[in-house]
Amino acid sequence: MTEDMNQVEVRTFSENDKVKGTVTKIEEKQVLVSIIGSKLDGIIPISELSSLHVEHASDVVKEGDELELVVTKVEEDALVVSKRKADAEKAWEEMKRRFETGEVFECLVNDVVKGGLVVDLGVRGFVPASLVEDHYVDDFTDYKGKTLSFKIVELDQEKNRLILSHRAVIETEKEQKKKQVLKNISAGQILEGVVQRITNFGAFVDIGGVDGLVHISQLSHKHVSMPSEVVQEGDKVQVKVLSVDLDNERISLSIKETQPGPWTNIEEKAAVDSVLTGVVKRIVSFGAFVEVLPGVEGLVHISQISHKHIGTPHEVLKEGQQVQVKVLDVNEKEQRLSLSIKELEEKEADNHVEYELPEEAKGFQLGEMIGDKLKGLKN
């Protein structure tokens, strides 16, 4: 027994030796440990407790903890040791494995610094602000203390550089979800979605993890100049799937197709003999098309424009002109509406000159007058 103890006492230590120690006392700027297998004590400076900045040693260790350590300096009666270096050696091996395999893992966000987030993985890991989310974040304060999933995107042990990304995890998950959604979507389905983005040519709608485009022509039955006239970002909308392109991962949607058409119940909205106010939309050689309801145009045939004879509709009408029309005929099935402008206008009296009989002819019959004329011709 004495021989074994003597061997322990005479053991010598060198810098970079790996040792184990038990925490015996926690002080403000250092931690004292009893080196296992030796009568020497070890001192861990607070800066050597973690790869991260430590305010209080008690935040990292507590009395009785058994730690793996690396000798950084040998003194006469004690060893200066580092928990940070021991953790880092093991951590780098684990980080290399995760980097090579592309493993996704969870980790606590220890701190928020200028430019991103900091995590402790035995070595300091940094998450640049651009790699935290797949959207812009103004303030990262609330991220401290959160547990997020990460993927290592850059590793350089020599430069002590470990870059992590939460965004890469989100994008991978979204891509997988997108493929699954695409498999389950087919033309003709009616789905609920949320307007994500508005452009000049339409609106992108999220239908459960994948965005589809509602072209401006499919937003409404009425004419739309700008998509923002009809929808806003964040709006919940019902859409009909028009087509699915699996190869290019594109989905065409329609809001218009989920809404009653402008011709629905047109026989009630534009009953025969009813008078409506409309706008001349198009003028053609045989008449004019007048919009009487949003998306509903009827034809005023050239013969129904005026009581007067006209060569072309342009003589009387111009595009954009507001007119009153009378409904002559309506057909919902064929989406036809016959209209008339002249039916609402009074027919002007015919211009004619009355023939005034001479004074001497008054009181005679017409036959007598003609007979006298004929006699004159014979003579």
pLDDT band at residue 359 under the 50/70/90 scheme: low
Output 180-187 pairs: Cβ under 8 A, ≥24 positions apart.
Answer: 180/209, 181/207, 181/208, 181/209, 181/210, 182/210, 182/244, 182/246, 182/249, 182/251, 183/246, 185/210, 185/241, 185/244, 185/251, 186/241, 186/244, 187/241, 187/242, 187/243, 187/244
pLDDT band at residue 375 under the 50/70/90 scheme: low
Q: Round to whole Å and give the CA distance between 328 and 284.
A: 19
Q: 57 CB contacts (<8 Å, ≥6 apart)?
A: 26, 27, 28, 29, 30, 31, 46, 49
Q: Quick one: pLDDT at residue 348? A: 54
Look at domain 266-344 and name its CATH class: mainly beta
Helix (H, G, I), strand (E, B) or coil at 149: strand
pLDDT in tens, 276-297: 999 999 999 999 999 999 889 9
pLDDT band at residue 347 under the 50/70/90 scheme: low
Q: Quick one: pLDDT at residue 209? A: 82
pLDDT in tens, 109-136: 999 999 999 998 988 999 999 999 998 9
Is the pLDDT score of 223 beyond 70?
yes
210 burial (CB, 10 Å; 0-12 / 13-18 / 19+) is buried
- 240 vs 264, more confident: 240
Query: Quick one: the chain helix, strand, coil %, rounded to 5?
Result: 25, 35, 35
pLDDT in tens, 11-32: 688 888 999 999 999 998 999 9
Is the pLDDT score of 334 beyond 80?
yes
Look at domain 102-170 and name its CATH class: mainly beta
CATH of 2-85, one of 2.40.50.140, 3.40.50.2000, 3.30.465.10, 1.10.3720.10: 2.40.50.140
% of the chain beyond a pLDDT of 70 = 88
Domains 102-170 and 266-344 share a fold: yes
DSSP strand E in 27-170: where?
30-35, 41-45, 66-74, 78-82, 105-113, 116-120, 124-128, 147-156, 161-165
Tell me the mean pLDDT in the region 199-205: 96
Taking Cα atoms as reference points, which of 67, 74, 63, 61 lies closest to residue 21? Answer: 67
Q: Residue type for 314, please?
A: H
Is the pLDDT score of 251 beyond 90?
yes
Q: Round to whole Å and give the CA distance between 144 and 125.
A: 14
DSSP at 186: -
Q: Round to whole Å and give the CA distance between 227 and 203.
A: 7
pLDDT band at residue 349 under the 50/70/90 scheme: very low
Tell me the mean pLDDT in the region 300-314: 94
User: Which neighbouring-strand residues pair with 156?
Assistant: 161
Is the domain defined by 186-258 classed in CATH 3.40.50.620?
no
CB 205 within 8 A of CB 195: yes
Q: Quick one: pLDDT at residue 183? A: 87
Q: Quick one: pLDDT at residue 350? A: 47
212 burial (CB, 10 Å; 0-12 / 13-18 / 19+) is buried
Q: Quick one: pLDDT at residue 374? A: 47
Please tell me the number of Cα atoms within 13 Å of 333 on its side-chain side: 0
Domain edges within the chain: 2-85, 102-170, 186-258, 266-344
Q: Quick one: pLDDT at residue 129? A: 96
- 254 vs 352, more confident: 254
Is the pLDDT score of 63 beyond 90?
yes
Q: Is 256 left (phi over 0), alpha (psi -120 to 50) or beta?
A: alpha
pLDDT in tens, 255-270: 999 988 888 889 999 9
